[in-house]
Structures are given as structure tokens and as C-alpha cells.
DNA sequence: CCCGTATGCTTAACCGGGCAAGTAATCCGT
DNA sequence: ACGGATTACTTGCCCGGTTAAGCATACGGG
């Protein structure tokens, strides 16, 4: 069966397609009676205006893009992105915007995708994830004048709008909590050092450890995978003066770390306390359940989507601060056993 | 800066836009010299043809859709979908197709989305996930004549093309392996009973248990979440004649089950063997690492994408059988300790 | 009664490409 | 030298909407 066009509706209603257009878009120019008749016919034959034709005549594409720059294995294992996407999606579909997704290999490929999407008028705006300290995507997007919202920050976003969460505060809260429990040797297994949020957390860690006089604190970097998290943990726990608490930059590494600790015969939390960043349901599946820093990721995505639609509409926007992650203490943290 | 159109390229090249169109699409009608000049100018001013305009003049939208019908929490925790998406995406972007994603609440919403996408000419085809035994989406898509590929089966796909994996064989292999280890009381924690693949696995489980004379086998149903997996496990392990081995329909439930077993003081694998379906990296993070049924999910997605592009191209297609999941024995399975 | 204006619709141009048909110039064989 | 074929373009219409401008008809006020 042929998909109906505006002309089909017009013919059956005995009016011009201009009248149908006015009726469908709630614009003045047709009488209420005619409008109802047209809408009824449109519904009857299952007509919705072609998005392509709409996009062509000056209107917007009613679609936004999201490019993800992580290998499949990591994307799958990290609940963060899927939760973010579903939050973004909820907000977008409520305003009948579509989400176009692309997985890219690196920053250059990502910039090329943005350039193509914009030139092809496929999207009205894009999200930028995994902000780096000196991110080439920011100037590229500014040059293209492609509406964009950076998911991350604060700062380093140029003139682009952004949504961010105060990771420094969350980290400080965590360290203070561990210190209050009595820990003095606290280690951190960080994520990819090139990412801005890793740097922010690292700086915050250095700052708060300095402030609290913890001179044995140490950070090792990893890549969010379980393998690397396990390796980093083995290294930390094999050192002569091993830490009594470890903060992991994601939950996958924390679970791997827990596993390593148990395999090395250490009691968690007796010999080692563990805190995970990102409180996905995974944290409650393991034994003991992990103390974690969590926040509402779907809501974060929804805020980013709302922000992007605002940018697209030309409304003034800036940096929007989202909820700060809060610590949920569970069984993986306790005062250190005296040795 | 205004985004360049074909007319801008034509003007700067001193030719008509028809000539530019021929040059850009590799069609005969322009000399090689002119083609090169036009391509150079197009590249210089950053021109790519508007997808909307292309879609309008009879061509395809160069986009396909994927609607996911699961709540955010489950989508995030299940590595399956993200891996599937990245595989789909890899194949699509290689052929410069875009992927449009939408999260929906239920089957009716999903059908409405398909209907709208198709009427709006937003997509050239769609993927159908989580096939049910009597799926209303199949007749709806057939009626719309919207190109579609069902990810799942075999059977129950009407006239739609599909990609499937032999879950019955994988399940049989697993049960036979456990029986070879000496297990006689094997339980299964299944996924949502409304899903076709759950039914297929259940039937296969009943069949193979009957064939091998395991009359104490039992299946309980769950919903893929850790909470439900834990609850199901507690129920199983509290029964007077508790099983010595449990097969879980996904890895999240298996991990939750492992945790419950340990919490109840049972040794894994000594007192209880555990097998997980879906071998994500999570399985290797826990202690002991989980024996799991795995296969290459990104490749599965890529095959589905290739199949969909074939349907869109009007080529004959049918049911494509993908790799069967294979068992990777790890530390969570062993002969049952004699009681 | 006539003119100004509001209402309700139609007409036609336009968005940015694709493509069939038309045309001018060149080539080729005889 | 001439007719036919080929090459290398141009012209113009089409896709399916939006929207400014045009045009009847009705209404209301002086």
C-alpha cells in the first residue's frame, strides 16, 4: 500500500493541500469545522507529514545526534551510557524528536560525523560525551555552529552549553567519609586520564588528601574495564604499605577489585574498604554489596536533552549544574581492622 | 555560516546543478575532468547532499529504526543491547545508514512508533527485538509493509526476515555438560515467560531433562533483574531437595544467584554449580568466575543489519541462523560434592 | 448602499536534490 | 561532406511539505 501524502488528504477532503497543512499544524487559516474534517480524514487514512519534506522547507530535522566513542565491549558493560540514552530518549520523544546514534572510533571520526550530519541536515543538534581536557570537538562544533550540549564539565566547553555534576564535591565527601571511619591510606583507581572528569577527580583527590593530611594516598590509572581494574588492584594490594580503602572510578572496576581482594585472601570490608563510582544495580549484586557514589543518570540525560532543545530553539543557555552524586554506604566499607 | 547546497557548488563550478548531481553520484553524464573539479569544490566548501532532499525525491531515508521496550534500569544493566547496537551500528555506518533509536513503554507504543516512522518516511526499515510467542508487532509490520528484521526466532516471524540463534541446542549442551559432571538435580531461572526465547529454552529444558531422565528438574521465572534473580535463587536453595546446579537466563541473575549462595553459606562450585547465559565481561569479574554460554553479540547485530539492508534492497531473505552460543567452563561449575 | 475588513480558502513559489528529456558540440564512418 | 551516434552538458519537472500572497465571500459600520 502506498503511504498517503498531504495531497491524498486534500483530495478526499475536497480542499487544497495548503488548507490541510494549516489544519494539521494548528495554524489559523481554516475554519474549525474544516479543521476537524481534515484531521478526521488524516487519521482515517493514516497520514503523518513526511519528515523529509518538512525538513526541506526550512523547518528543522526534528532529530538530534549522539556519537559514542568507546569500543563495543566497554559500551556494553558500562550501564552509564544506556541509562543516559534512555533518559535522553524519554525527553526527546515527548517532544517528538528522534535520536540518531552512531558509534565512532576516535575524535576525528566523531568530528567527521558531526560535520556530515550537519551538512546533510540530518540533525538539529548533538550531544558531546566524554569531554577531554583539550577537546578538539568543541572548536569544531563552534566553527560549524552546530547546536550542541556537552555532557560534562564544568569548563572546557567553550561557548557550548553543558550539563555537569560536581564530581569534586562527591569525591571529597567520599574521602571524608573514609577518613571518618578511620582510614589513612586511601588509594584511587582512576579512569582514562585523558578524560576531563578523571582529571577533575584526580585534582580533587590530591586536594582533599592534602587538606586532611593523608600523605600516603596514591592514584593509579585504568581504563574502566574489569581486567585493568583487577590489575590495578593487584598492584595496589601488593605494595608494602597497602591501602586500607580504595575508591574506583566505576563500578565494573570496583567489582573486579573486590574479586581480587577476595582472591588474595583479604576480607572486605575488614581488611579493605571499597567504594565504587556509579551506583548501578551491579553494586548490590556482589557480596558484600558495594558502597557507591550514585545519582540519577536517566534524569541527567533528560536534562541534557532539554538543554539541547533549548539551544536549538535559540534560547539562552549556559552551564547547567545537575545533582551531585551522593554516597550510599553498604557492606563494602567499614573502619579498618587494626593491624 | 550558511550550509552549502548543490546550487552553491554548481555556481562556483560554473555548471548546472544537474551536472553536480551526476558528478556527486558517480553517474555518467559529466567528463572526468569536470567531475574532479566539482568534487574538489564540494570538498572545499564542505558540501554533502541534504538527506531530506534526497529522501524526498523518491530515494530512501538512509536510516533504520530500533525501538527498545524495556525500562531504563534493565536496559542499562543488560550488556546485550548495547553490544547488539554497536554491532548493528558498525554495519550500518559502513553503508552510511543512520540508526534511529527509541525507547518505548509497551508493544502498542512500539507499533505506533513504527507506524509513525514509516508514515513520516523517517526510516527505511526496522529491527524487532524481544520477540513474543504471539507477537502483535509482526502482523502490524506486515500490514504496513515496512521492511523489518526480527532479531530472534526461529518461527513466529510471519513473512518477516529474521536472524536467530539455536538456543535449544545451547541449552541442551549445557544440561548435558552438567549431567556429565554428575549433576542430577538441575534448576533453571528463566527470563520473562512471555518472550519467545524463554519459551524455547523452557521447552528445550523440559525435553532434555526428560531425555536424560532428570525428573527433579525445575524452572522458575524471573525478569532479568538482580533482585528477582536473587529471590528466585533463595526460593530454589531453600527447597528441601535443593538443586546442585542452576542455569540462569542472563548473567545479571547468575551473579545475583552466586551472591545469594555465598550469603547462605554454600560453596560455589562445591555445593552449587552456576551457569550464566550471556557471557559478558561481568562473568569474569566475580569470584569464582562464572561458567557461561556466550556468543559474539556485536556480530549478531551486524548480521541483523546486513539482513535488514537486504530486505530494504528488495533481495530475497528468510531466516538466517547465526552462531550457536557455546559454553565456556570456568570456576563456577564442578562435580557436585557428595552429601 | 457602499466601502473597509475579517474570514476561509486557493494558488504558486520555494526548500534541495534526482532524473528524464532536450540540445549543442564533437566524433566517426563512408 | 554529411548523417548518425556519442559526449557533455542544460533545462525543467518532480518529490511532499510550508507559507506568502491572492481572492472571493460575508459582515459590519457610517
User: B89 to chain A: which residues are within 8 Å by CB?
Assistant: 101-103
Nearest-CB residue to B48 (from A53, A99, A119): A119
**Helix A17-24 and helix A6-13, axial crossing angle in degrees, nearest 10:** 110
Q: How many CA atoms lie within 13 A of B268 on its CB side?
A: 28
CA A8 from centroid of its chain's CA atoms: 43
Average pLDDT, chain A: 94
Nearest-CB residue to A51 (from B76, B120, B226): B120
Q: pLDDT digits over A260-288, tens only?
A: 999 899 999 999 999 999 999 889 988 89
Residue A77 banded pLDDT, cuts 50, 70, 90 = confident
* Per-residue buried b or exposed e for A116-153, using 16+ beta carbons within 10 Å of the residue's own CB: bbbbbbbbbbbbbbbbbeebebbebbeebebbbbbbbb
Q: pLDDT digits over B54-94, tens only?
A: 999 877 899 999 999 988 878 888 889 999 999 999 999 99
Q: pLDDT digits over B20-41, tens only?
A: 999 999 888 889 999 999 999 9
pLDDT computed for residue B1 by the predictor: 56
Assess whether pLDDT exceeds 80 at residue B2.
no
Cα–Cα distance for residue pair A321/A316, rounded to 1 Å: 15
Q: pLDDT digits over B227-243, tens only?
A: 999 999 999 999 999 99
CB pairs under 8 A between A and B: 185
User: B52 to chain A: which residues are within 8 Å by CB?
Assistant: 51-56, 61, 121
Sign of CA dihedral B68, B87, B80, A124: negative
Taking the Cβ of residue B59 and every Cβ of chain A, the question of whether any pair is shorter than 8 Å is answered with no
Which cell numbers hold the place of A99?
535520536
pLDDT computed for residue A253 by the predictor: 95
CB contact under 8 A, A73 and B83: yes
What is the spatial order of strands in the sheet that B186-190 belongs to? Answer: B218-221, B186-190, B245-248, B273-277, B291-294, B326-328
Q: What angle do CA A192, A140, A136 make, to 5 degrees?
A: 25
Taking the Cβ of residue B44 and every Cβ of chain A, the question of whether any pair is shorter than 8 Å is answered with no
pLDDT computed for residue A339 by the predictor: 58
Question: Mean pLDDT, to the nearest integer, of A9-22?
Answer: 94
Reported pTM: 0.93
Question: Burial of A63 by CB count in 10 Å (0-12 exposed, 13-18 middle, 19+ buried)?
Answer: buried
User: A226 to chain B: which residues are within 8 Å by CB?
Assistant: 281-282, 284-285
Which among A63, A83, A92, A98 is the top mutation candidate for probing chain B, defined by the most B β-carbons within 10 Å of its own β-carbon? A98
| Residue in this structure with the C-alpha cell 547462605, named with its chain if needed | B264
Question: Mean pLDDT, to the nearest integer, of A102-112?
Answer: 95
- Contacts of A20-26 with C-beta under 8 Å, sequence gap 24+, read A24/A49
Q: pLDDT digits over A108-119, tens only?
A: 999 999 999 999
What is the spatial order of strands in the sheet that A63-68 belongs to? Answer: A319-322, A161-165, A148-151, A125-128, A63-68, A98-103, B98-103, B63-68, B125-128, B148-151, B161-165, B319-322
pLDDT computed for residue A28 by the predictor: 87
DSSP H helical ranges for chain B = 6-13, 17-24, 32-45, 51-56, 72-77, 79-94, 107-119, 137-144, 167-181, 196-211, 226-238, 251-263, 297-312
| Of B223, B218, B329, residue with least CA distance to B276 | B329
**Given phi > 0 = left and psi -120 to 50 = alpha, else beta, which region is A158?**
left
Question: Mean pLDDT, to the nearest integer, of B181-207?
Answer: 96
| Distance between the alpha carbon (CA) of A32 and the C1' atom of C2, Å | 31
With a 7 Å cutoff on the CB, does B33 touch strand D? yes
Q: Which residues contact B134 (CB under 8 A, 6 or more apart)?
A: B156
Strand-pair partners of A132: A195
Cα–Cα distance for residue pair B54/B49, rounded to 1 Å: 7
**Helix B6-13 and helix B17-24, axial crossing angle in degrees, nearest 10:** 110
Give the 3-state secondary structure of residue A121: coil
Backbone angles phi, psi at B287, to 5 degrees: -130, 115
Q: pLDDT digits over A211-246, tens only?
A: 999 988 999 999 999 999 999 999 999 999 999 999
Average pLDDT, chain B: 94
| Closest nt to residue B57, judged CA to C1' | D15
Assess whether pLDDT exceeds 80 at residue A322.
yes
H or E segment and range at residue B318: none
Taking the Cβ of residue B80 and every Cβ of chain A, the question of whether any pair is shorter than 8 Å is answered with yes
Kindly report which listed range (A96-100, A137-141, A298-302, B1-5) carries the lowest average pLDDT score: B1-5
- Chain A nearest-CA residue for B229: A285
Cβ atoms A302, A235 nearer than 8 A? no
Cβ atoms B285, A226 nearer than 8 A? yes
Residue A162 banded pLDDT, cuts 50, 70, 90 = very high
With a 7 Å cutoff on the CB, does A53 touch strand D? yes
Residue B210 banded pLDDT, cuts 50, 70, 90 = very high
How long a stretch of residues is chain B?
339
Cα–Cα distance for residue pair B146/B126, rounded to 1 Å: 8
Query: Which residue's CA lies closest to nucleotide C12 at its C1' atom?
Result: A18
Cα–Cα distance for residue pair B280/B296, rounded to 1 Å: 10
H or E segment and range at residue A169: helix A167-181
Sequential DSSP letters for A249-275: SSHHHHHHHHHHHHHTT--TTTT-EEE
* Per-residue buried b or exposed e for A260-279, using 16+ beta carbons within 10 Å of the residue's own CB: bbbeeeeebbebbbbbbbbb
* Per-residue buried b or exposed e for A229-246, using 16+ beta carbons within 10 Å of the residue's own CB: bbbbbeebbeeeebbbbb
Residue A338 banded pLDDT, cuts 50, 70, 90 = confident
Assess whether pLDDT exceeds 60 at residue A1.
no
CB contact under 8 A, A63 and B1: no
User: B99 to chain A: which residues are within 8 Å by CB?
Assistant: 100-102
Nucleotides of chain C in contact with protein CB (under 7 A) are 7-12, 14-21
Cβ atoms B39, B25 nearer than 8 A? no
pLDDT computed for residue B291 by the predictor: 98
- Chain A nearest-CA residue for B47: A119
Write the CA distances from B167 to B123, B184, B197, integer angstroms: 31, 21, 7
| Residue in this structure with the C-alpha cell 548495547, named with its chain if needed | B82
DSSP H helical ranges for A212-250 = 226-238
Which cell numbers hold the place of B193?
515467560
Which cell numbers hold the place of B146?
515496512
Residue B339 banded pLDDT, cuts 50, 70, 90 = low
pLDDT computed for residue B29 by the predictor: 85
DSSP H helical ranges for A25-127 = 32-45, 51-56, 72-77, 79-94, 107-119
CB contact under 8 A, A280 and B80: no
| Distance between the alpha carbon (CA) of A16 and the C1' atom of C12, Å | 12
Pairing of strands A98-103, B98-103: antiparallel
First-to-last C-alpha distance (Å) of chain B: 78
How much of chain B, in percent, has pLDDT values that exceed 90? 88
Q: Which of residues 260-289 of B touch A (CB under 8 A)?
A: 262-263, 280-282, 284-287
Pairing of strands B319-322, B326-328: unpaired
Residue B270 banded pLDDT, cuts 50, 70, 90 = very high
Amino acid at each position: 500500500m502506498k503511504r498517503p501524502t498531504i495531497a491524498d488528504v486534500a483530495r478526499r477532503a475536497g480542499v487544497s493541500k495548503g488548507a490541510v497543512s494549516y489544519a494539521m499544524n494548528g495554524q489559523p487559516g481554516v475554519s474549525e469545522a474544516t479543521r476537524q474534517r481534515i484531521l478526521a480524514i488524516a487519521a482515517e487514512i493514516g497520514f503523518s507529514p513526511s519528515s523529509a519534506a518538512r525538513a526541506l522547507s526550512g523547518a528543522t530535522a526534528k532529530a538530534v545526534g549522539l556519537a559514542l566513542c568507546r569500543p563495543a565491549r566497554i559500551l556494553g558493560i558500562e550501564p552509564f551510557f544506556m541509562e543516559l540514552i534512555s533518559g535522553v530518549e524519554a525527553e526527546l520523544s515527548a517532544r517528538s524528536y528522534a535520536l540518531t546514534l552512531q558509534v565512532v572510533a576516535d575524535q576525528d571520526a566523531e568530528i567527521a560525523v558531526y560535520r556530515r550530519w550537519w551538512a546533510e541536515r540530518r540533525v538539529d543538534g548533538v550531544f558531546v560525551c566524554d569531554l577531554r581536557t583539550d577537546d578538539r570537538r568543541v572548536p569544531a562544533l563552534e566553527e560549524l555552529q552546530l547546536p550542541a550540549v556537552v555532557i560534562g564539565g564544568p569548563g572546557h566547553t567553550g561557548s557550548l552549553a553543558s550539563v555537569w555534576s560536581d564530581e569534586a564535591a562527591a569525591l571529597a565527601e567520599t574521602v571524608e567519609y573514609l577518613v571518618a571511619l578511620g582510614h589513612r591510606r586511601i588509594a584511587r583507581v582512576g579512569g582514562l586520564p585523558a578524560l576531563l572528569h578523571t582529571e577533575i577527580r584526580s585534582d580533587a583527590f590530591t586536594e582533599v588528601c592534602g587538606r586532611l593530611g593523608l600523605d600516603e594516598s596514591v592514584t593509579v590509572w585504568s581504563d574502566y574495564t574489569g581486567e585493568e581494574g583487577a590489575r590495578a588492584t593487584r598492584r595496589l594490594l601488593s605494595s608494602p604499605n597497602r591501602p586500607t580503602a580504595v575508591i574506583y572510578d566505576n563500578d565494573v572496576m570496583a567489582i573486579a577489585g573486590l574479586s581480587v581482594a577476595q582472591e588474595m585472601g583479604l576480607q572486605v570490608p575488614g581488611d579493605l574498604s571499597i567504594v565504587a563510582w556509579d551506583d548501578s544495580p551491579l553494586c548490590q549484586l556482589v557480596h558484600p554489596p558495594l558502597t557507591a557514589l550514585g545519582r540519577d543518570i536517566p534524569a541527567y540525560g533528560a536534562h541534557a536533552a532539554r538543554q539541547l532543545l533549548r539551544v536549538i530553539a535559540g534560547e539562552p543557555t549556559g552551564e547547567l549544574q545537575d545533582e551531585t552524586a551522593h554516597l550510599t554506604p553498604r557492606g563494602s566499607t567499614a573502619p579498618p581492622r587494626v593491624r
